[in-house]
Copies of this chain bind each other. A is one copy, B any other.
């Protein structure tokens, strides 16, 4: 057989995986948008079967043979083929190095741990969850020993979500960030110049929120030909296939921010997926480059566009029309200040853009300590509360509002949190470079002309899919290494202006 035949067989296997993944994604979407409860057990089994099929292909001997052949002839092959083979090799190694029995045991454990976590959180009692967390950590430590790592065991986990980003990189970035933000948060907290947010929680009819969500998606460049908006308890974006990228949102009649900013956040994720080079469809390159790069796009749309005062120059009138009793006596500047309120809080997912990175840094420092054996599970709640006190000036009143708030650990997702903060840094650095190319950025937003912004992001980020590593995307787009100063400048500038 010639090389081309192997190459075709390899891509046929990837395509087959993409078909199973389409079915899995649709089943997940359906489960969260109204599938009847009674079918959920069978549904879980069907998802299990298809996931097993994907795993089987990714770890098959034939896949390994094809990868080895292609990588041995890398210089004769197109770049995309080599990159796809490298990623397939990474999946193969990642999955194959864990003994099958051990992995099965681990999957069962995460399922039980999630139930235990739900109960522990409801009872606000960390000790109910601790034994599961202990085992999950032990498993992950063993996995790290199977996978191997450089410099720090935690790097093996970071590599899953943000390939190329290491403890060394994060220590540097986060220490600069802490140094700048902790004092800023203190000043903002102490400021007497706080926004009036009393109108935020007034009733905003659900149907009007829905109309506006659809309207903003369309304005921002989300393609409805290849997507749809639905309602869920926990909003998300999911790619069914390249021509079918769906978003969901939640309507809270007493807090319009959930739907408006939530929809625009998911819109950023979706515009990313809708603009990956179509040539990559059906391959393992047709996906976001990393969790953090994905988050940079959602945050770009949510914060740099929709929380930007110029956005509301264009659209505040729409808000007044949709909910006149709520907004007709509120000045636009006061609205903008209110939706940019910043204050220390306990719950990460409710945090504003200024304090959010501190929530992440706390989790990062704790996870790093766990995997370098510097802290026991028993000691975690105290460590958590101490860090909230030190960085945010508040002490969680309970485990539920503290260490038990996130589902990630129960699912075995250690190393995931840093990507959220990296998303902020990536976004700020991209925005800084974008201003060189589009100096009229604010005026474009005021005119509701988002096409040049989308095109810029598509050229620099979206189209590449997983062709590039996250840090390379940033370097190629901005001409320099990841630099946290752009985020710091943005936050200091914006929040000094608003509060000080």
Contact = CB atoms under 8 A, between A and B. Distances in A.
A332 interface: no
A45 B19 contact: yes
Nearest to A22: B46
Given A22-B46, A49-B16, A38 B243 contact: yes
A37 interface: yes
Contacts of A45: 15, 19
Nearest to A49: B19
A22 B24 CA distance: 11
Interface residues of A, number: 38
Given A36-B226, A49-B19, A243 B27 contact: no
A34 to B, nearest CB: 6
A29 B290 CA distance: 32
A243 B31 CA distance: 13
Contacts of A240: 35, 39, 43
Contact of A23 (B37, B50, B243, B244): B50
A179 interface: no
A36 B281 contact: no
A270 to B, nearest CB: 11
A211 interface: no
A226 B50 CA distance: 22
B228 A38 contact: no
Contact of A243 (B19, B42, B228, B244): B42
Nearest to A42: B241
A241 B46 CA distance: 10
B22 A228 contact: no
A225 B36 contact: yes
Nearest to A227: B36
A30 B26 contact: yes
Given A23-B23, A34-B228, 18 more contacts: A19-B45, A19-B49, A19-B50, A20-B46, A20-B49, A22-B27, A26-B26, A30-B30, A36-B225, A36-B228, A36-B246, A38-B223, A38-B225, A38-B243, A41-B243, A42-B281, A42-B282, A43-B241
Interface of A: 15-16, 18-20, 22-23, 26-27, 30, 34-43, 45-46, 49-50, 223-228, 240-244, 246, 281-282
